[in-house]
Amino acid sequence: MSDVIDIVGGGLTGPLMAIYLARKNFTVRLHERREDMRKAVAQEGRSINLALTARGMKALDEVGLKEKVLDICIPMKGRMVHDTAGNTVLHPYGQKDSEVIYAVSRGQLNNLLLDAAEKAHVVITFSRRCTGYDIDGNLLHFTDADGGAREVDAGIVIGADGAGSAVRKAIMARDKNFAFTNDTLDYSYKELEIPPAAGGGFQLEAAALHIWPHKNFMMIALPNTEGSFTCTLFYKTKGAQSFDQLADEKSVTDFFAAHFPDAVPLMPRLLDDFFSNPTGALYTIKCAPWHHAGKAAILGDAAHAIVPFFAQGMNSGFEDCSFLNSLVVAGENNWEKVFTAFTAGRKDNADAIADMAVENFIEMRDLVTDPHFILKKKVGFALEKRWPDKFIPRYSMVVFRADIPYAEAKARGMAQDKILETLCAGISSPEELNWELAEKLLHDMPARKSA
Ligand code: FAD
């Protein structure tokens, strides 16, 4: 039993977990590889944002940060789909005014969490990279800012150190039964920018997530509070139509002019951004168990890195923190039991969202313009309107319903999809829907009331 908790990683999940545990009166030490982001982000100049949804918001609410975070968010009510003629159409995410997702700056959110952690008396050390963890000897090894090596007597260790987790590697080395897979997608991504309008303000509709879908690739754009949009191009890594082909200014200019003509005039720094910003890889990490010997556990991307197409990486990581917190009772912890219950309660859900995130890439880059898919969406909304406890669109279950576990959303989503396929066969609009058949098909679907 230890009252000291060492959290490795001060990204998004590390400070949140630290706040939860500090509020339970544990002594929490947070070790972060980078320098203090609150100074670094101000200098960085490049905005990177994320979509925050109900699961993440629920966790932030639990630690009293929801209102503060809402102050730095922009609500997005749907996907604004752009075609190559510059036409746009908005596909709403949900049917109620409250069914929005929130664009938030990664840097600002990280800073807010670090401030709150410090306020909760978490001791944060920056520029401290974990280089190893001797689980049997209870020692954490670090390199400090000056390059010097440092050993720290470890308390309970929580690895919130992202997809390349040093804590996970230590657990893996110690547990010969540790299962680990890393599936790299054959796509990569590059972040670009649409700056604010010359006189200030947004150059595109601010209350939407913009998509330029192109069947096997796409660009998206999310708004930032200062009026810019962070755009992300998702494109094959190698091959005929891929980042490989975008090696010089002409090929980049031609590619954007052909596929994103309405965005190009809004991107005056396109070429600079394209060639100076890194190209990132996309992968899914699955592993188990997420703990070892009642001494250490991993959460967030360290335990389950997923592709970003359902905007749930951070949200699921925040849900990890909330769930782990619910298992911890100050002063009477059997960490082995807590961590075992943590893996048992989260693993299936993490696997489910990992799989749904890969599937959602196809929806975003291809299906959003497909008439049959659009019809299914409309029919799904009609069913939800009439039987809100029986039919809940999968997107809504994942994104708006923190009370429905991901594994349930996946299973229910598959059953609902079969029903939609049956109901949409041979019709072209929701007005033609066979309501009698719909009622019959939904009869056995267990009711799911809002929590
Ligand atoms: P991280 O945020 O990666 O934080 C890990 C921290 O640990 C970092 O600060 C790092 O410096 C530190 N660290 C690493 N190694 C060490 C070490 N050895 N010693 C000390 N410190 C260390 N998620 C969403 O929910 N919504 C979205 O819209 C969304 N969009 C995304 C878009 C893209 C392009 C990508 C790539 C991801 C997106 N995600 C999104 C996923 C989200 O970014 C991650 O799931 C989230 O950042 C995970 O948080 P984390 O704290 O587990 O890891």
pLDDT (tens digit, 9 = 90+) per residue, 210-227?
999 999 999 999 999 999
CA of 185 to the centre of ligand 1 (A): 18
Q: Is the per-residue pLDDT at 152 higher than 50? A: yes
CA of 15 to the centre of ligand 1 (A): 12
Position in ligand 1 atom list of the atom nearest CA 191: 34
The reported pLDDT for the residue numbered 369 is 82
The pTM is what?
Answer: 0.97
CA distances from 183 to 177, 246, 285, 305, 439 (A): 19, 24, 7, 10, 40
Residue nearest ligand 1's atom 15 by CA: 161
CA of 241 to the centre of ligand 1 (A): 28
Residue nearest ligand 1's atom 49 by CA: 12
33 lines ligand 1 (CB under 6 A): yes
Q: What is the DSSP annotation of 267-300?
A: -TTHHHHHHHSPEEEEEEEEEE-SEETTTEEE-T
Q: Which of 50, 109, 310 gets mutated to test ligand 1 (max ligand atoms within 8 A of its CB)?
A: 50
Q: Is the per-residue pLDDT at 41 higher than 70? A: no
Confidence of residue 333 (pLDDT cuts 50, 70, 90): confident
Position in ligand 1 atom list of the atom nearest CA 280: 36
The reported pLDDT for the residue numbered 47 is 73
162 lines ligand 1 (CB under 6 A): yes
Lowest mean pLDDT among 42-51, 145-154, 363-372, 412-421: 42-51
Q: Is the per-residue pLDDT at 1 higher than 50? A: no
Q: Is the per-residue pLDDT at 187 higher than 60? A: yes
CA of 162 to the centre of ligand 1 (A): 5
Sign of the CA dihedral with 60 first, then 61, 67, and 68 last:
negative
Residue nearest ligand 1's atom 4 by CA: 11
Q: Is the per-residue pLDDT at 202 higher than 50? A: yes
Q: What are phi and psi of 380, to 5 degrees?
A: -60, -45
CA of 299 to the centre of ligand 1 (A): 11
CA of 312 to the centre of ligand 1 (A): 11
Q: Is the per-residue pLDDT at 42 higher than 70? A: no
Q: Is the per-residue pLDDT at 450 higher than 80? A: no
Confidence of residue 46 (pLDDT cuts 50, 70, 90): low
Residue 416, exposed/middle/buried by CB under 10 A (0-12, 13-18, 19+)?
Answer: buried
**What DSSP state is assigned to residue 197?**
P
More confident residue, 368 or 163: 163
Q: Is the per-residue pLDDT at 45 higher than 70? A: no
CA of 314 to the centre of ligand 1 (A): 7
Position in ligand 1 atom list of the atom nearest CA 300: 52
Average of per-residue pLDDT values in the chain: 95
CA of 427 to the centre of ligand 1 (A): 44
CA distance 141 to 149: 7
Give me the mean pLDDT over the 57-81 stretch.
97
The reported pLDDT for the residue numbered 44 is 54
The reported pLDDT for the residue numbered 364 is 81
Confidence of residue 279 (pLDDT cuts 50, 70, 90): very high
CA of 22 to the centre of ligand 1 (A): 22
CA of 180 to the centre of ligand 1 (A): 19
Q: Which of 8, 17, 129, 301 gets mutated to test ligand 1 (max ligand atoms within 8 A of its CB)?
A: 301
312 lines ligand 1 (CB under 6 A): yes
Q: What is the DSSP annotation of 146-196?
A: TS-EEEEE--EEEE---TT-HHHHHHHHH-TT-EEEEEEEEEEEEEEEEPP
Position in ligand 1 atom list of the atom nearest CA 161: 7
Percent of the chain residues topping a pLDDT of 90: 92
189 lines ligand 1 (CB under 6 A): yes
- Asked if residues 445 and 390 have their Cβ atoms less than 8 Å apart, the reply is yes
107 lines ligand 1 (CB under 6 A): no
pLDDT digits (tens, 9 = 90+) for 347-397: 999 999 999 999 998 888 878 788 999 999 999 999 999 999 999 999 999
* The length of the chain, given as a count of residues: 451
**Among residues 286, 296, 344, which one has the least CA distance to residue 320?**
344
The reported pLDDT for the residue numbered 451 is 65
